[in-house]
Amino acid sequence: MSDSAFHYVDGVLHAEGVSAASLAEQFGTPLYVYSRDALTQAYRAYADACAGRNATVHVAVKANSNLAVLNVFARMGAGFDIVSSGELARVIAAGGRAEHTVFSGVGKSAAEMREGLEAGVKCFNVESIPELHALNEVAKSLGKKAPVSLRVNPDVDAKTHPYISTGLKSNKFGVAFSDARATYAQAQAMDHLDVVGIDCHIGSQITEISPYLDALDKLLELVGQIEADGMRIRHIDVGGGLGITYDDETPPAIGDFVTTLLDHIGKRGHGAREVYFEPGRSLVGNAGVLLTRVEYLKPGEEKNFAIVDAAMNDLARPAMYEAFHRIVPVVKRDAAAQTYDVVGPVCESGDWLGRDRELALVPGDLLAICSAGAYGFVMSSNYNTRPRAAEIMVDGERARLVREREEVKQLFAGESILPD
């Protein structure tokens, strides 16, 4: 949670200049609330560190794909990083430009490749030899040459959760480092591919710079070998993955992170190449909270439960990763706290949002689940036929509905029963 964007005024949590209690009253709960100022400040930290350097910022759409969120970044001149043609459609609808968009992803279909080529995306990050062949054939059918970089797996431990570690040789992502040089040679031999760069992404929620530097050293060594084989590598894509503070993590400041990587690349003699950054979580994670209301307080023999109206379908990270999110009261109570597990109404024991939290509560109280701007709504589902939450963007003292709450009838509008 961004302390500047989300703060208490007279004991009431505010999003910028708006009371979170008033938002819950007006728009209902569960409710995702984003701060435009927090989004802006995070992006500017990247952009300012890249200013005057041969570096560009491509926002990872998968972290938060709400059109209003993407539009905030598009207005500031951001590029984008996508992993599906659906995300490409979102970028364009939000005011982004295909020619500033990098198409990543391990399993692009031929149809998605076609859509990317027809739109004119900046580059395809390719992850296997079969994908190279497929892209070459699609480009041939369109009479085009597809700009490509290879995502190389450097076998570097990002020291993060195994589900979001992507740079080890046991992960599904990228071309094995030992195969990369030969794979580049194959790409160069294909008539409808234009080899333009090299890509690396080692994981997510990384709170140290050293894994990035280790991966870069391997990548830059490989660049020299590739160019010795007659290819020109114009850009180096360092991916994203910079972590945020959920609890007591101490990730480097965005500006320090960007400057350290750019300086490292320059010292190794590669400063003339364009560098792509693909941040996601570090842009949007602490720019959002999830508001939820306490339905029941249920004491137990071993645990006390605060049962709220948000659930694992609204915020999957705790159930999926055992992820920690701070949970704070919207209105502070001057009362003794008790220890609660904060859980939802979904019919799963894995439906929990926080364990062993010290909270002073009565039924009807509002809670804010912090740092929910990344991988929150985008990973939500309709499990138990639960409509997905509404989303709000706060801008100063104004709050705008940027996604309507779903209604139950929408969830089965496309279904049909069997005829008699």
pLDDT, tens digit, 9 for 90 and up, residues 241-263:
999 999 999 999 999 999 999 99
pLDDT at 264 over 50: yes
How would residue 157 be classed by pLDDT, with cut points 50, 70 and 90? Answer: low
Q: Which helix (H) or strand (E) holds 194?
A: strand 193-199
The answer on pLDDT for 317 being more than 90 is yes
| Residue of 50, 123, 200, 347 with catalytic role | 347
Neighbours of 397 (CB within 10 A): 9
The answer to whether the beta carbons of residues 345 and 316 sit under 8 Å apart is no
pLDDT tens, residue by residue, 55-104: 999 999 999 999 999 999 999 999 999 999 999 999 999 999 999 999 99
Based on the residue annotation, tell me whether 123 is a catalytic residue of this protein: no
Task: Identify whether the C-beta of residue 132 lies closer than 8 Å to the C-beta of residue 178.
Answer: no
CB atoms within 10 A of CB 25: 11
Contacts of 19 (CB under 8 A, 6+ apart): 9, 12, 13
- Say which residue, 84 or 172, is predicted with more confidence: 84
Task: Give the model confidence (pLDDT) of 325-339 as tens digits.
Answer: 999 999 999 999 999
Q: Which two tokens stand for residue 179?
A: 């195969």
Full set of structural domains in the chain with CATH: 6-35+285-411 (2.40.37.10), 105-277 (3.20.20.10)
Can you point out the beta strands (E) in 344-389?
A: 352-359, 366-369
Question: Cβ contacts of residue 151 below 8 Å, gap of 6+?
Answer: 104, 125, 126, 127, 173, 174, 175, 199, 200, 201
Which residues fall within 8 angstroms of residue 269, CB to CB, at 6 or more apart?
A: none
Which of 33 and 204 is assigned the larger pLDDT?
33
Closest to 78 in 3D by CA, of 44, 36, 121, 123: 44
Average pLDDT, the chain: 94
Q: Note the pLDDT tens digit of each residue in 348-388.
A: 999 999 999 999 999 999 999 999 999 999 999 999 999 99
Instruction: State the pTM of this model.
Output: 0.95
CB atoms within 10 A of CB 154: 23
How far is 384 from 164, CA to CA, in rounded Å? 26
pLDDT of residue 164: 41
- Cβ-contact 363, 308 below 8 angstroms: no
How sure is the predictor about 167, in pLDDT bands with cuts at 50, 70 and 90? very low
**Helix (H) or strand (E) segment spanning residue 339:** strand 338-343
Q: Tell me which residue has tokens 């706290």.
A: 337
The Cα-based distances of 115 to 61, 81, 86, 139, 378 in angstroms read 17, 15, 10, 11, 22
Which residue, among 137, 131, 183, 174, has the nearest Cα to 155 in the 3D structure?
174
Which residues lie across from 66 on neighbouring strands?
none
Average pLDDT of the residues in 343-350: 96
Predicted local confidence at residue 301, as pLDDT:
86
